Amino acid sequence: MGLVLLNCRRLDLSQFYLQGGKTKCEGYLKGYSGRRKGWWKMEQPKLASLFATYLSCRSFTNKSVEIKSRAVKYFVELFGDIEPENITYNHAEDYVNFLRKERKAGAVNAYLRNIKPFFVWLVRRGHTKSNPFEQIRLLPEDKIYRPPYSGDELARLIKVADLRMKVITLLALCSSMRRTEILNLVVKDIYFDRSCILINPKEETETTWRWTIKNHQHAFVPMPETIELPGETVNLHNLIVQLIETLPAKQPYLCLKAQHYEVNMRLKAEGRLTDERRLTPWLRFSNDFKRLCKRATIESKSLKDLRATFATTLAESNYPLTKTQKAMRHKSPQTTANYYIQHDQCKIINEVNELSQNYYVTTVP
């Protein structure tokens, strides 16, 4: 291997690694710009190569990489692998119109949420002066009203659930824990004396797998000792103690069945434990919870709706929105208000009807 001698005084070729007369930075060099100018013009990197660099600078999960890659793939397929500085608002608008042809608003918004940060990064790194997606807004989505769990529904749910599902249900309801947080909860993170649970990431150890928290927010969440339901008082602390006593000797995870834990540990030992398995080690949990709701004669509700019930209960008790946001561990109170607080529409209708009736009776002569 040697240096290829070129007739150029202003370019220090010693900085390039040459092999077979061709540089490894080929593709970034556009060519000799002319004898009068006497320098080489660097070719601007294209969108695809910059996206690869963007991914290497971030610690995304495989699932995030997958959807971000699809978002950029569709853009490149539509406009070609062009230089970022040549991308305008027109490209961004046409991209949205292209996505809307065969997709619902929610799917389009998912791609927009994943491609926008990439263009923000391009601006910050100086690859383009302006963000073409800056003025692109998310599409309005139809919001389906899903009422929170009623007291009777919760009582029926607890009645038909086994010990493990009782604990999972009550943690979502009273601690506002997400599914992935519940399934990755270990016994040492439970503080009975303080009636709280610590949500923190897990490291790769002999008995645990690596797991990161959504938004990377370490937090203590409430764990009340008792919960009052119609017709009974449930002692959550006692249920958790009973569940701990059923765990295999080396299993630290509170809510996982033994077979789920064994499968994950085997996959980890073989180097085949995916991000999906780390986030949700109980892969068919949603289906199992739906069957539980069916036995309790509850339709069209999920574990996530228990979090919404938690937020709605606080709101209807006149608990401040900002504190509810902190309890839910959301970045903004708008997320809490728009997506999780579900006031009972039937209750609102009855209250307004009564208010209107009393108003006209008492004020109209």
| pLDDT in the model for residue 329 | 87
pLDDT in tens, 54-113: 999 988 877 889 999 999 999 999 999 999 999 999 999 999 999 999 899 999 999 999
Who has greater pLDDT, 268 or 338? 268
Q: 278 and 155 in one domain? A: yes
Which of 78-92, 245-259, 314-328 bottoms out in mean pLDDT, i.e. has the lowest?
314-328
Q: What are phi and psi of 235, to 5 degrees?
A: -95, 100
Residue 132 · residue 91 · CB < 8 Å: yes
Does any domain span residue 2? yes
258 & 210 share domain: yes
Asked if residue 209 and residue 290 are part of one domain, the reply reads yes
Q: Which of 58-62, 133-137, 300-304 is predicted least confidently?
A: 58-62
Q: Give me the DSSP letters along 49-93.
A: HHHHHHHHTS---HHHHHHHHHHHHHHHHHH-S--GGG--HHHHH
**Does one domain contain both 286 and 187?**
yes
> Burial code of 7-25, b = ≥16 C-beta within 10 A, e = fewer?
eeeeeeeeeeebeeeebee
Band (pLDDT 50/70/90 cuts) for residue 333 is confident
Co-location of 112 and 180 in the same domain: no
249 and 102 both lie in a single domain = no
Residue 42 has pLDDT above 60, yes or no: no
> Of the residues 266, 283, 308, which one is the last residue of a structural domain?
308
* Same domain assignment for residues 200 and 273: yes
User: Which pLDDT band holds residue 327 (cuts at 50, 70, 90)?
Assistant: confident
- Asked, for residue 224, whether it belongs to a domain, the answer is yes
Range among 8-12, 20-24, 112-116, 351-355 with highest mean pLDDT value: 112-116
313 inside domain: no
Domain boundary pick from 86, 106, 124: 124
Query: Of the candidates 105, 124, 143, which is a domain's last residue?
Result: 124
How many structural domains is the chain composed of? 3
pLDDT at 3 over 80: no
First to last CA, the chain: 103
Alpha carbons 281 and 288: distance in angstroms, whole number = 13
Q: Are residues 102 and 234 in the same domain?
A: no
Q: Confidence class of residue 216 from pLDDT cuts 50, 70 and 90?
A: low
Q: Which residue has the higher pLDDT, 261 or 343?
A: 261
User: DSSP E strands: which ranges in the chain?
Assistant: 18-19, 22-23, 29-32, 40-42, 190-191, 196-199, 219-222, 226-229, 232-235
User: What is the per-residue pLDDT across 187-201, written as a single tens digit (0 to 9) for each?
Assistant: 999 999 999 999 999
State whether residue 196 is helix, strand or coil.
strand
Assign residue 59 the CATH number of its domain: 1.10.150
Better pLDDT: 253 or 339? 253
Which pLDDT band, with edges at 50, 70 and 90, does 334 fall under? confident
Place 357 in a pLDDT band, splitting at 50, 70 and 90: low
The answer to the question of residue 138 being in a domain is no
271 and 171 within one domain? yes
Whether 77 is in a domain gets the answer: yes
Domain enclosing residue 228, as ranges: 151-308
Residue 248 lies in a domain: yes
Least confident range of 14-23, 45-54, 86-95, 298-307: 14-23
- Does residue 195 fall inside a structural domain? yes
The answer to whether residue 133 is domain-embedded is no
CATH number of the domain residue 247 falls in = 1.10.443
Examine the pLDDT at 16 and tell me if it is beyond 70: no
Predicted TM-score (pTM) of the model is 0.73
Give the closest residue to 258 by CA, choosing from 267, 249, 270.
249
Closest C-alpha among 295, 328, 296 to residue 313: 328
pLDDT at 36 over 50: no
- In a shared domain, residues 190 and 297: yes
Same domain, residue pair 225 and 91: no
Over residues 165-188, mean pLDDT? 96
Mean pLDDT of the chain: 84
Q: Are 134 and 170 in contact (CB under 8 A)?
A: no
Q: Tokens 């509810």, residue? A: 324
Q: Are residues 187 and 57 in the same domain?
A: no
Lowest mean pLDDT among 8-22, 313-327, 334-348: 8-22
Query: How many angstroms from the chain centroid is the CA of residue 235?
Result: 31
